[in-house]
Structure 1
Amino acid sequence: MPTISVVMGVYNDAQRVQTSVASILQQTFTDFEFIIINDGSSDGTGPILDRLAAQDGRLRVIHQENMGLTKALIRGCAEARGEFIARQDADDFSLPDRLGQQLALIKGDRRIGLVSCATQYIGPQGEPLSIIKRAQTPDLATEQLLHHRQSPPAHGSVLFRRSVYDAVGGYRPEFYFAQDSDLWLRMAEQTQFANVPMVLYVHRREIGSTSGLNRAIQARFGELGQLCKTARLEGQSEIPHLQEAKQLRTQILASKTQKRPPDPRALASAAYFLGSQLVANGDRRAIGYLWQTVSLCPTHWKGWYRLAQSLIQFPLAKVHSLPY
């Protein structure tokens, strides 16, 4: 039986998935199985995964119809045979020592049931955005997770004990978004959360990602997870909040069947986030994202302000960034 089961859900990510998979297969710690749920991809992701699985016996690919990330992870974790489960997202990649470092930390203290690591956020083209860290001391990290919304830096950055996952009921299908933060809260009520201080995981922010285009409804799922936590602490029923989460999930699935084009305002908001972060970092590539912001949404006044600021800050980039 492998020590670690790495679980990934993927949907239509042929452009990125090979790099993500390779980052796990090239880990310095090798006693793992890698379970990938291909969630109904239609873009060539499936054949890529099948080819990779034929080359490495640790990789197991399961194909299913599209059911969303939460149900893909529920299935992946149910298939897991390891004492520990690690997550990996298809857009992201792990540095070579990630599994080994996290395993050493969690095995060194039985009180710890969930570990993460410092995470580098990057843009669509690999532009460095920010590094997100959490407290190293388990007592403080757990307190901040439970009461100050300081969750792991990225969903895919975690490794946890299978026994704790099972004890709290695992991922809950009602949560289409924020399924991770709901799970971490329930885990932190039973065990401690800890972090490796080094950057071992790289999380990519995409403009057109599903979560990026649904920030408002994603935030509501996060609030429902917090309301469930409060209900548990006060001895009340979580059912009303889970019912609302289930209704929101149904609405999302219904809208997906209608195949509506992305809201330009949501795309503009995502581009603005990237542009603003790059301006703060002194990166002239901000200009391209800010032009995209105001092109998608001409009334995005913050975008215009940031664009003007970036053109002043990076004068040599003006000629190359004008939209003609």
Structure 2
Amino acid sequence: MPSPTVSVLMPVFNAERYIAAAIESILAQTFSDFELIVIDDGSSDQSLAILKSYAAKDNRIRLVSRANTGHSRAINEMLAMANGKYLARMDGDDICMPDRFQRQVDCLNAHPDVVAVGGAVQWIDQDGDAIRMFSVGETHEEIDAAHLAGVGGAISHPAAMFRRDAMLAVGGIREETHLAEDIDLFLRLAEIGKLMNLPDVVLKWRLHPASTGATKTRQQHEVKVRVLRDAYERRGLAVPAELAAATADVGDDSPGATQRMWAWWALEAKNVNAARKLAWSALRQSPLNRSSWMTLLCAVRGY
């Protein structure tokens, strides 16, 4: 049996609310020459049962279940299992646009110097309502400069497709960079090839209270600073003074503050429905915070 063109790598942990929609979006791709490798990373909810039901119906799905060892290790395990020329990342709570794989395969086929390609993403809330679109830049120079400046997500990891040989060449995910493994990976890939983003939305990325970026902001910042210092040193560049003196002062990273930020993003994008839900959530998290009331007032008003 010939190897598939694409291996989809999807770690899953307690995603019972979203996993069916994620898998359906993969199975509905216009490009069908793929295998879907899923590691259930010790879920305690119904994720595994849902995954088993899909694996029983589609032989492209390769399912592994084991005790929890973490997101980064799961990706490396799936990298070792992959047969495809290209690797598509996907998380269990996101949704692929139907032509994502076709567009990214076409891009990598047309640009042999590109080692990873992403695209714009649409941030959505728990219910799937739009918050805002996110995109940093399309060219290698824009993306790499953003990463060196500490802007995470210049390529969104769960929206990316990689050359498998490039991922193997850089050693996959460095597990010690957990919480900032995406920016670390792309900085290392940029040292052996080019990065690129497609201009159109390729993924709906779900933001919810359990998201890593919503719960571990300070720890994430500390690891990112270490990753950036490593990158400057590898490239023989002087570490910027502001980075050398960087601290983990990321401001208010409470759940209420995160929900307020998301509400403002939605409001600025005129996605009023999501803005109102997020503002109510922020108020429930921090009812005595004046900013929460102001955010709700603006969301109810619609501007």
TM-score normalised over the length of structure 1? 0.82
Amino acid in the other structure paired with 1:287: R
Cα-to-partner distance string for 1:266-317 (whole Å, 9 max, x where unaligned) = 3212321222223323415533432332332234332222223334447xxx
Shift of residue 150 of structure 1? 6.2
Cα-to-partner distance string for 1:17-39 (whole Å, 9 max, x where unaligned) = 01101111111111111100100
Cα-to-partner distance string for 1:182-215 (whole Å, 9 max, x where unaligned) = 1110000110001211112110110232431111
The aligned residue for residue 241 of structure 2 is: none
Shift of residue 147 of structure 1? 5.0
Describe the shift of the 1:280–1:235 C-alpha distance in structure 2 as closer, same or farther (beyond 3 A): closer
Instruction: Describe how 1:47-62 pairs up with structure 2 within 5 A.
Output: 47-62=49-64
Describe the shift of the 1:219–1:147 C-alpha distance in structure 2 as closer, same or farther (beyond 3 A): closer
Looking at structure 2, the residues matched to 107 and 285 of structure 1 have their Cα atoms a distance apart, in angstroms, of: 38
Amino acid in the other structure paired with 2:299: S
Describe the shift of the 1:274–1:85 C-alpha distance in structure 2 as closer, same or farther (beyond 3 A): same
Shift of residue 171 of structure 1? 0.2
**Cα RMSD, aligned residues only:** 2.2
Q: 1:89 aligns with which of 88, 91, 107?
A: 91
The aligned residue for residue 264 of structure 2 is: 276
Describe the shift of the 1:211–1:130 C-alpha distance in structure 2 as closer, same or farther (beyond 3 A): same
The aligned residue for residue 205 of structure 1 is: 207
Cα-to-partner distance string for 1:64-87 (whole Å, 9 max, x where unaligned) = 111111111111111111111110
Asked whether the equivalents of residues 145 and 188 of structure 1 are also in contact (C-alpha less than 8 Å), the reply is no
Cα-to-partner distance string for 1:201-259 (whole Å, 9 max, x where unaligned) = 110110232431111111222222111101212389xxxxxxxxxxxxxxxxxxxxxxx
Looking at structure 2, the residues matched to 39 and 111 of structure 1 have their Cα atoms a distance apart, in angstroms, of: 34
Gap regions ≥5 residues in structure 2? 239-251
The aligned residue for residue 305 of structure 1 is: 294
The aligned residue for residue 249 of structure 2 is: none
Instruction: Describe how 1:177-196 pairs up with structure 2 within 5 A.
Output: 177-196=179-198
Higher share in helix = 1
Amino acid in the other structure paired with 1:13: A
Asked whether the equivalents of residues 18 and 93 of structure 2 are also in contact (C-alpha less than 8 Å), the reply is yes
The reply on whether 1:291 has 2:280 as its aligned counterpart is: yes
Looking at structure 2, the residues matched to 225 and 76 of structure 1 have their Cα atoms a distance apart, in angstroms, of: 23
Describe the shift of the 1:44–1:158 C-alpha distance in structure 2 as closer, same or farther (beyond 3 A): same
Residues paired across the two proteins, number: 287
TM-score normalised over the length of structure 2? 0.87
Describe the shift of the 1:174–1:141 C-alpha distance in structure 2 as closer, same or farther (beyond 3 A): closer
The aligned residue for residue 103 of structure 1 is: 105
Describe the shift of the 1:210–1:144 C-alpha distance in structure 2 as closer, same or farther (beyond 3 A): closer
Cα-to-partner distance string for 1:106-143 (whole Å, 9 max, x where unaligned) = 11121111100111111112221111224333444444
User: Bigger shift: 3-12 or 195-204?
Assistant: 195-204
Q: Secondary structure of the residue that 1:121 maps to in structure 2?
A: strand
Amino acid in the other structure paired with 2:68: N
Q: Secondary structure of the residue that 2:176 maps to in structure 1?
A: coil
Describe the shift of the 1:147–1:34 C-alpha distance in structure 2 as closer, same or farther (beyond 3 A): same
Q: Secondary structure of the residue that 1:268 maps to in structure 2?
A: helix
Amino acid in the other structure paired with 1:33: E
Looking at structure 1, the residues matched to 220 and 150 of structure 2 have their Cα atoms a distance apart, in angstroms, of: 18
User: Bigger shift: 209-218 or 290-299?
Assistant: 290-299
Instruction: Describe how 1:1-324 pairs up with structure 2 within 5 A.
Output: 1-146=3-148, 149=151, 151-234=153-236, 266-282=254-270, 283-313=272-302
Asked whether the equivalents of residues 7 and 86 of structure 1 are also in contact (C-alpha less than 8 Å), the reply is yes
Looking at structure 1, the residues matched to 282 and 153 of structure 2 have their Cα atoms a distance apart, in angstroms, of: 29
Asked whether the equivalents of residues 154 and 203 of structure 1 are also in contact (C-alpha less than 8 Å), the reply is no
User: Bigger shift: 161-170 or 271-280?
Assistant: 271-280
Describe the shift of the 1:110–1:310 C-alpha distance in structure 2 as closer, same or farther (beyond 3 A): closer
Structure with max Cα Rg: 1
Describe the shift of the 1:163–1:54 C-alpha distance in structure 2 as closer, same or farther (beyond 3 A): same
Q: Secondary structure of the residue that 2:56 maps to in structure 1?
A: helix
Asked whether the equivalents of residues 93 and 202 of structure 1 are also in contact (C-alpha less than 8 Å), the reply is yes
Looking at structure 2, the residues matched to 108 and 231 of structure 1 have their Cα atoms a distance apart, in angstroms, of: 32
Identity across matched positions, percent: 29
Looking at structure 2, the residues matched to 209 and 136 of structure 1 have their Cα atoms a distance apart, in angstroms, of: 25
